[in-house]
Amino acid sequence: MFRKHPVETEKRGQKYFKKYFLKMIVFTLVILAVGVVGGIGGILILSTNDGAIAKKIGVTKGINIPITKTDKIVLEESNAVIDATNKVSPSVVSITLKTQVRDIFGQLKTAEGAGTGFIITSDGLILTNRHVASDENAAYTVILADGKTYDAKIQSVDSTQDIAVLKIDARDLPVVELGDSDQMQIGQWVVAVGNALGQFQNTVTVGVVSGKNRKVEASDSSGANAETLDNMIQTDAAINSGNSGGPLVNLKGQVIGINTAVASGAQGIGFAIPINVAKSAIESIKKTGRIIRPYLGVRYVQVTPDIAKENNLSSEYGALVMRGNGLGQAAVAPGSPADKAGIKENDIILEVNGERVDENKGLVSLVQQYNVGDAIDLKIYSGGKESAVKVKLEERK
């Protein structure tokens, strides 16, 4: 607060007024300085050459203006990508194959192909796609990341998934770390590593998980060997010809998928088999030397609300048991577990052990959670009513 002073004479008052007015100007400038500097987060200690002014306004110590300090943190995603790549790349291999085929004139010619795989055991088991390594008559060569080359043979082929395992005669190989594909999130960064175009070994591309639980119809470049792939990971990380069988990796360097297919005519739409789907196959081949899968024995179409409406079905979800388009593609395989349980064409399988069969979890992926010899309970819609059916799973022959 300012204190008022009595004016004794007009002259004295004018002299005092000029002196006091100047001091007020100095004080005002100091206060303005505090306001300006304090407003940008600094600390100002009030001082003046005229100690009497400070005493008059009751300021005997500095005025502290608290600082709000902001540190700028820069997240380097590239460092995480580099670390993940360095971790997985030594375990990624290129696969080449040569086989004899007949041309339209009946003459034998050598056909070549290429793909990718990754090492799952230190003694030379390599996981890849079935469409890369299923020809028993082909000659396979595996090229390690360090350039060493090995002849390879087919160890086992998965009967239900696009998965195969090659074997090379080697020891002390670097092995990938498997992640948990159930924990991945849409938008999560991923890295694809593979033998792009069959020419560029261990090419690295980066993207995100752009979709989950996708169902796609996939075929080879000729349009043949079509199959339905359920529960796929969709990614915009570039997957090129030759990348098939390579790993899709999270930023921890853990494999969460097996790169399998790409949408033709599109940009940035590729698909990978979730690694959790392959884990049972990996454990099976480690224990028995081959992939053993449980087998139900039905052909089906996944029911959706649109399909239910178009076909006047009583359920908007489930697996509608239907025969295939080709000769011999029966709806229920003769002698199969489904046949023995009495499942028929046009039945709808609604649940597997209480889990609903829908677009998020198809019939194949639900059955693959169990082992050969397990008995599972199916809820069936048949003949206008629901019923429970027990099925004992067998190995596909």
Is residue 75 domain-resident? no
Is residue 233 domain-resident? yes
Same domain, 208 and 234: yes
Domain closes at, from 221, 255, 285: 285
Locate tokens 């178009």: which residue? Answer: 310
Same domain, 186 and 280: yes
Chain centre distance of CA 133: 24
What's 183's DSSP letter?
G
Same domain, 164 and 99: yes
Residue whose C-alpha is closest to residue 5's, from 21, 29, 25, 27:
21
pLDDT digits (tens, 9 = 90+) for 48-57: 444 554 455 4
Same domain, 49 and 97: no
Same domain, 95 and 189: no
Is residue 80 domain-resident? no
Q: Tokens representing 70?
A: 């902001």
Number of domains, the chain: 4
* pLDDT score recorded for residue 365: 81
In percent, the amount of the chain with pLDDT more than 70 equals 77
* pLDDT score recorded for residue 220: 62
How many Cβ atoms are within 10 Å of 114's Cβ, its own excluded?
Answer: 23
Is residue 311 domain-resident? yes
pTM: 0.70
**CATH no. for residue 334?**
2.30.42.10
264-282 average pLDDT score: 87
* Catalytic hit among 131, 181, 339, 365: 131
Residue whose C-alpha is closest to residue 322's, from 314, 331, 313:
331
Q: Are 292 and 272 in contact, with CB atoms under 8 Å apart? A: no
Is residue 27 domain-resident? yes
Query: Rounded to whole angstroms, what are the CA distances from 103 to 44, 99, 108, 136, 224?
Result: 88, 13, 7, 19, 16
Same domain, 65 and 123: no
Query: Rounded to whole angstroms, what are the CA distances from 233 to 217, 274, 320?
Result: 14, 6, 24
Same domain, 144 and 55: no
Is residue 175 domain-resident? no
* Catalytic hit among 158, 162, 230, 358: 162
Same domain, 281 and 298: no
pLDDT digits (tens, 9 = 90+) for 143-201: 999 999 999 999 999 978 899 999 999 999 999 999 999 899 999 999 999 988 878 88
Same domain, 280 and 306: no
* Catalytic hit among 244, 280, 284, 336: 244
**CATH no. for residue 115?**
2.40.10.10
* pLDDT score recorded for residue 199: 81
What's 384's DSSP letter?
T
pLDDT digits (tens, 9 = 90+) for 29-42: 343 333 333 333 33
Q: Which of 38-42, 189-193, 229-233, 280-284 has the lowest mean pLDDT?
A: 38-42
Q: Are 139 and 100 in contact, with CB atoms under 8 Å apart? A: no
* pLDDT score recorded for residue 96: 94
Whether 162 sits among the annotated catalytic residues: the reply is: yes
Same domain, 33 and 103: no
Range of the domain at 391: 294-395
Whether 103 sits among the annotated catalytic residues: the reply is: no
Whether 131 sits among the annotated catalytic residues: the reply is: yes
216-237 average pLDDT score: 74
Same domain, 271 and 330: no
Pairing of the two strands 300-302 and 348-352: unpaired
Is residue 317 domain-resident? yes
Domain closes at, from 12, 41, 69: 69
Same domain, 64 and 97: no
* pLDDT score recorded for residue 393: 94
Residue whose C-alpha is closest to residue 152's, from 189, 116, 124:
124
Is residue 79 domain-resident? no
